[in-house]
Each structure stands twice: as C-alpha cells, then as structure tokens.
C-alpha cells in the first residue's frame, strides 16, 4: 500500500494545489458509487499496472451489488414465467448471480460512471450531457446510463448524442453557457 500511495503522490507532484483539488472533485463526481458498483473513492491506485510514462493506473473493480443481484433475479424469474406460457420442451436460465466474471460477458456493453440527472447535486452531467463543472465539456456515450435493459445499445447511445449535438449547434455555440 505504501508503494501505491507513493504513486499517487508522484502524480500529484505535477499538479498545483488548485489542479489537485479540481481533479479530486471531478473524479468523485464523474465516477460516483452507486448500486451497480464502486465509485472513485473506492477505487485505488495500483503499482501493478502503469501507463506509458510509468505512472500507476487507477484500479477499478466491478461486481454485482445487492440491488443488481435482486434486479437480475427478478428479470430471470419474469423471463422464465413468460417463456413457460408457450410450453417449450426445455426451459432454463444460467445463473449470473455469483461474483462478476468477465469471461461470460465478452460482448457485454457495460455502462455508467458519469451520472446524468436533473439534480446537480447527484449528477455529473445535465440532460444535454454537459458537464456540471465545465461548461464546454460534453460527455457523449454509454457512460451516462446506469445500465442497459438490453444489448447492442447503439440507439440508446445515439439518441442523446443527436440531442446533444443539436443543442451544441443550435444553442451552445451561439452562447456558451449552461444549457440546463
């Protein structure tokens, strides 16, 4: 742990006090803890993996939380009940309620990390995907969704991307302020 803390100190040595404060605040807002997984405060810096400059990388872990497991169990029960109505010759479901394992999820489209909501105190971006902290930063992509209800989220990601692009073109470029 001492080596890991030294890596953090080494990174922060390149920042002014104001920059370090901004970085801490931004990371906590952009990667909040929620029912899906840990946030930035729960993440650690590891000396095992380093970037091209030799600086330690942030260690992020993912696992199902109680609410995620309960949601999955509910969805599985409902899907089995629905499928049973048509009377298949074979019916079953795989169990995904154990510890998260990336192997069965090679095509999973994980999402989350940058909370979008109307409440500025509980979100990193507004409905136009505009940063709460920096007016000219827009976060377009899957990170603004807490989860997906289905796979292949292209349309799910595309709709707010077009909404954001229109708002930038029609409003923000003419008068760069908060859009919401």
Q: Is 68 helix (H, G, I), strand (E, B) or coil?
A: helix
Q: Which two tokens stand for residue 14?
A: 């390149």
- CA-nearest of 134, 133, 138 to 161 is 138
Active-site entry in 74, 109, 151, 172: 109
Q: Which two tokens stand for residue 18?
A: 């104001």
Q: Which two tokens stand for residue 149?
A: 């209800």
Q: Are 47 and 59 in contact (CB under 8 A)?
A: no
Q: Which two tokens stand for residue 81?
A: 């009940």
Largest CA distance in the chain: 66
Q: What span, in angstroms and rounded, lies between the C-alpha atoms of 49 and 147? A: 27
Residue 172 annotated in active site = no
DSSP-assigned states of every residue in 10-59 = HHHTTS-HHHHHHHHHHHHHHS---SSS--TTT-EEEEEEE-TTSPEEEE
Catalytically active residues, by annotation? 109
């Amino acid at each position: 742990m001492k080596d890991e803390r030294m890596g953090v100190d080494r990174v922060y040595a390149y920042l002014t006090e104001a920059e370090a404060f901004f970085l801490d605040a931004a990371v906590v807002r952009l990667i909040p803890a929620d029912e899906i997984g840990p946030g930035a405060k729960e993440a650690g810096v590891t000396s095992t993996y380093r970037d091209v400059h030799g600086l330690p990388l942030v260690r992020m872990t993912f696992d199902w939380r109680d609410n995620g497991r309960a949601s999955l169990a509910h969805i599985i029960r409902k899907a089995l009940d629905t499928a049973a109505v048509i009377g298949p010759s074979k019916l079953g479901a795989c169990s995904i309620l154990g510890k998260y394992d990336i192997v069965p999820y090679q095509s999973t489209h994980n999402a989350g990390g940058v909370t979008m909501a109307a409440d500025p105190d509980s979100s990193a971006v507004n409905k136009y995907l505009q940063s709460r902290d920096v007016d000219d930063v827009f976060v377009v992509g899957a990170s603004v969704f807490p989860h997906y209800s289905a796979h292949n989220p292209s349309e799910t990601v595309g709709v707010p991307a077009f909404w954001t692009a229109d708002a930038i073109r029609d409003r923000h470029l003419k008068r760069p302020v908060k859009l919401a």
